[in-house]
Structure 1
Amino acid sequence: MQVCKRLSWCGVVLLCLWPALSASATSFDPASRFGFELRTRWGMKLEGRFNRYEGEVRQLPGGSHQVVLRMFTQSVEIVGYPRYSEWTRSAKFFEAERYPVVTFVSRPYDEALLKRGGDLAGDLSIRGITRPKTLTVAPSTCARPAYDCDVVATGAVRRSDYDMDDWMMAVSDRVVFVLRARLRPEAALP
């Protein structure tokens, strides 16, 4: 009787873990670029980038896919502006020491989205605050998106929604994430 209970429990655990066990993942290529754009109140565009990131595209059972992306805030750089770089890592923006990672986890999507373009829904977490976010994926410029060309996705957020409301008089509340993703070439199928 005890053996049957253990086997039943093992079956339940295995059934719950099956999606994770049967999914495969492909990690991002170092050629990927993940960043954002800010505008000052005087119209100057500031380009930010995460110099360190990790994540993958998971192939889920049934053929759908899911993006899991982690961008490390301590690596943030505002291109050409060291003082703005320090500010974005500080407690007044990303608060990198306390919140070291910005994450985006998509909902499952069909791979055809990468070719035709469209909406990629998911959850964006910044400073410990998670909100639903939809990125717009641009239509592909090649036959094998993410391998032969970048998959480009953009999405705007308000800093104030993530408690990053310092310097509102100088820097716009709107932040546009710009993600240019490639997957590791060894994972490409012919």
Structure 2
Amino acid sequence: MRPHRPVAAWLLPLLPLAPIHAAGYRIDSNSSQAVFGVRLLWLHEISGSFHHIKGSVQPGPHADSMIVAADIDVDSVTMDSARMRRWVLAKEFFDAASYPTIRFISDPVPRSTLEHGGPLPGKLSVRGVTAAEHFTLHPMHCSGPAPAPCRIELDGTLIRSEFGMTAHRATLSNRVRLNLAIVLLPIVPGTPRPADSHENAMTESQ
């Protein structure tokens, strides 16, 4: 089964990149999604989509740096099979009851990485385990100058056994593909900044 591509996120025209908004961006939870996929018997892919992501892209602790922070609500996952959805939420996979959030906080990266794409290292937290992970960040595209929305896409692969997902190793691949398609809304100066994800990112990056 091939995962559905995000709809709202990819309706943004691919206009030339506008200057990065100095105050940063918040993630539009209504238009963003994350897709995961894992191969079963190395022939078929089990996949699903998370439909609630919150977080931000905001200035980092160093001049000209930015931090990407995203929290994924595990229970927001949708799948074609209700039985498979119950399984991925269960204790042997994502264990949503005990660990309701998947979190990624990037290291500070140059603004040029957002503009042109490139490696996006950081910390990924799944099932209460935090490990260093590298995503690939595709170039940011905006539908016009601020306050027009922008979009970014992140691709990565996690090793599920490193996060305690060790069940069915004979039939289920140890590699889980993760793609985040995120719509960003510029933060208007004087309005409250997005909550805790970015504050945690600033603390961890120092």
Q: CA RMSD in A?
A: 2.5
**Which structure carries more relative contact order (alpha carbon 8 Å, separation 6+)?**
2
Q: Deviations over 1:70-121 (max 9, x none)?
A: 11112222x3122111111100101111111110000111121123221001
Equivalent positions of 1:8-47 (< 5 A) are 24-29=23-28, 30-47=30-47
Q: Considering fraction of residues, name the structure with more helix.
A: 1
Q: Deviations over 1:110-156 (max 9, x none)?
A: 121123221001000111111000101124566879x6663121111
SS, match of residue 160 in structure 1: helix
Specify every segment of 5 or more residues in structure 1 that has no aligned partner in the other structure, as ranges.
Answer: 1-22
Q: CA deviation at 1:186?
A: 6.9
Mean Cα displacement is larger for which, 177-186 or 102-111? 177-186
Matched pairs, number: 164
Q: CA deviation at 1:27?
A: 1.2
Q: CA deviation at 1:44?
A: 1.2
Equivalent positions of 1:90-101 (< 5 A) are 90-101=90-101
TM-score by length of 1: 0.76
In the other structure, the counterpart of 1:67 is 68
Contact 2:42/2:173, CA 8 A, preserved across alignment: no
Specify every segment of 5 or more residues in structure 2 that has no aligned partner in the other structure, as ranges.
Answer: 1-21, 189-206
SS, match of residue 183 in structure 1: strand
SS, match of residue 169 in structure 2: coil
In the other structure, the counterpart of 1:157 is 158
Instruction: Determine what percentage of the aligned residue pairs are the same residue.
Output: 31
Larger radius of gyration: 1
